[in-house]
């Protein structure tokens, strides 16, 4: 098998330098918002609108802003905990439902399989804003308004996660499953004992994408919750905005705290995430 990096090594030094320059510029553009967020989080109010713009605060007040954040929003830790519970619940739910659906589409033949799979993928083209009202009516009719069930259950399936896992399952040789069947394993045992352990890169990509989406969800929690007991951190940050003025230093401090879990998750799973995305191609 040809080394995937051999093509890059064959490029001329000028092309390599150009590619590195483009990547460096892209990296700077991506990092700048985080640097500005951290800088603003450590600024006193007098420096928020000062000109010229200063990336490094003249009088850093990180600890003071952190303390003021919790004075302004005393339930902020509760918001973080609620987001963590919703994220874990949705991720586990999607792992169960999407893995089962993906394995069925990847290995079992049944009537209209491709049509049903295409309909599932069609859900990706439906914006959530188009179904938020029917979903609210349904969830409210079940008596789940302002509960964790309303936050978690509707998000326990994702067409994209199912597609990602299906593509990963298709790349696993059928011989592994046949060997397990000879040993007496049923399809569920094969899925959980053979297929999923062999799909760790795809599962890492699935975990990062799913947890990031669940952690950053804003519209649905805003619609379905109304008490601090179920408010998630994205809605909690929005509550810091005032009608006439907004403490941007406190808002950025809260955004920094809310970003840390996802940043840590991505750093830990970065290698597997990239490998999983690359390996989950468009195989049929």
Domain for residue 161, yes or no? yes
**How do residues 224-238 score in pLDDT, each as one tens digit?**
998 999 999 999 999
Domain for residue 162, yes or no? yes
Cα 192 to Cα 2, 41, 110, 207: the distances in Å are: 32, 44, 22, 16
Alpha-carbon span 159 to 209, nearest angstrom:
12
Cα 227 to Cα 44, 71, 143, 146, 234: the distances in Å are: 31, 18, 15, 7, 14
The model's pTM is 0.84
Mean pLDDT (whole number) for 232-249: 87
Domain for residue 24, yes or no? no
Note whether 279 and 60 are within 8 A (CB): no
Mean pLDDT (whole number) for 133-140: 93
Note whether 116 and 264 are within 8 A (CB): no
Note whether 67 and 242 are within 8 A (CB): no
**How do residues 255-268 score in pLDDT, each as one tens digit?**
999 999 888 888 88
State both tokens at 52: 């010229």
Q: Residue 19 pLDDT > 90, yes or no?
A: no
State both tokens at 232: 């998630």
Domain for residue 3, yes or no? no
Mean pLDDT (whole number) for 2-22: 75
Q: Where in the sequence is the domain holding 237, given as residue range(s)? A: 62-279
Specify the number of domains making up the chain. 1
Hunting for tokens 């609108």 — which residue is that?
Answer: 49
Alpha-carbon span 284 to 275, nearest angstrom:
19
The CATH number assigned to the domain holding 235 equals: 1.10.3720.10
Domain for residue 25, yes or no? no
Note whether 158 and 120 are within 8 A (CB): no
Domain for residue 107, yes or no? yes
Range among 14-18, 26-30, 269-273 with highest mean pLDDT value = 26-30
């Amino acid at each position: 098998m040809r080394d995937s990096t051999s093509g890059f090594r064959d490029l001329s030094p000028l092309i390599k330098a150009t590619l590195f320059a483009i990547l460096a510029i892209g990296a700077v553009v991506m990092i700048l918002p985080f640097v500005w967020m951290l800088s603003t989080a450590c600024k006193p109010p007098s420096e928020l609108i000062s000109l010229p713009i200063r990336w490094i605060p003249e009088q850093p007040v990180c600890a003071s802003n952190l303390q003021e954040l919790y004075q302004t929003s005393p339930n902020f830790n509760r918001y973080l905990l609620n987001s963590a519970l919703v994220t874990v619940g949705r991720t586990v739910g999607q792992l169960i439902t999407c893995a089962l659906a993906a394995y069925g589409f990847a290995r079992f033949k049944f009537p209209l399989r491709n049509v049903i799979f295409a309909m599932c993928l069609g859900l990706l083209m439906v914006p959530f804003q188009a179904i938020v009202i029917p979903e609210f009516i349904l969830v409210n009719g079940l008596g789940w308004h302002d509960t964790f069930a309303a936050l978690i259950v509707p998000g326990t399936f994702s067409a994209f996660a199912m597609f990602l896992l299906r593509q990963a399952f298709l790349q696993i040789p059928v011989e592994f499953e046949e060997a397990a069947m000879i040993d007496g394993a049923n399809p569920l045992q094969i899925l959980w004992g053979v297929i999923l352990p062999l799909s760790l890169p795809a599962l890492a990509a699935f975990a990062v994408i799913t947890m990031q989406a669940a952690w950053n969800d804003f519209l649905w929690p805003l619609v379905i919750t109304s008490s601090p007991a179920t408010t998630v951190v994205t809605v909690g940050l929005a509550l810091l905005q005032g009608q006439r003025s907004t403490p941007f230093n406190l808002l950025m401090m809260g955004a920094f705290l809310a970003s840390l879990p996802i940043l840590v998750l991505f750093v830990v799973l970065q290698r597997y995430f990239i490998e999983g995305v690359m390996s989950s191609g468009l195989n049929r």
